[in-house]
Amino acid sequence: MYNTVVCAIGRGSRERTQQLITAASMLVAPNGKLHLVHVLDGLASSSAFPDEWDMGVIADVEKTLVRALRSTGTSASVHVREGRPSEGVVALLNEVHADLVVIVSHRDDALEHVFGSVLDHVVRNAPCSIHILRTTA
C-alpha cells in the first residue's frame, strides 16, 4: 500500500479510465491520497494565459474525471493541466511527493516509436515506483 498515488489518465475509453481508477484506488493506503492527472496537449492558447475556450475544455475534462470517480465510488484530487503529457505527469509526481504512479500500457504504434511514448518518459523520469496496467478496453 502507498500513501500518495498518482493515476495518469490519458485518452481512451470510459472503461479504460475506470480500470485505471479502480486499480489505483486498490493501491492507496487507508489514510493515503489518490490524485488523478490528465494533461492536455495542444490547447490553442499559452498555458500561462488560457483563453475562454481552453478553460471550457479543461472544465469539461475535470467533469469527466469527477464522473468517472463517482462511477467507481472513489475519492481523489483531480488535476487537469496543459502541456506535454509526459512532462506534466512527472511534474505532478514531484509536486505531490508521490510514492506510486499508475499508468496504462497500450498497443504500440508507429508514431510512438518515432517520438517516444508518455509511458517511456514516465518510466525513465518518475521519482517513485511505477505500476503499469495493461487494460482490456
Domain range annotation of the chain:
2-134
Cell numbers of 65, please? 474525471
Angle at 43 between CA 40 and CA 49, to 5 degrees: 105
pLDDT (0 to 100) of residue 14: 86
Query: Residue 45: pLDDT above 70?
Result: no
Please tell me the CATH superfamily of domain 2-134, with its number. Answer: HUPs (3.40.50.620)
Query: Residue 105: pLDDT above 90?
Result: no
Full-model pTM: 0.87
Residue 127 CA to residue 135 CA, distance in Å, equals 24
| Phi and psi torsions of 91, nearest 5° | -60, -45
pLDDT (0 to 100) of residue 13: 80
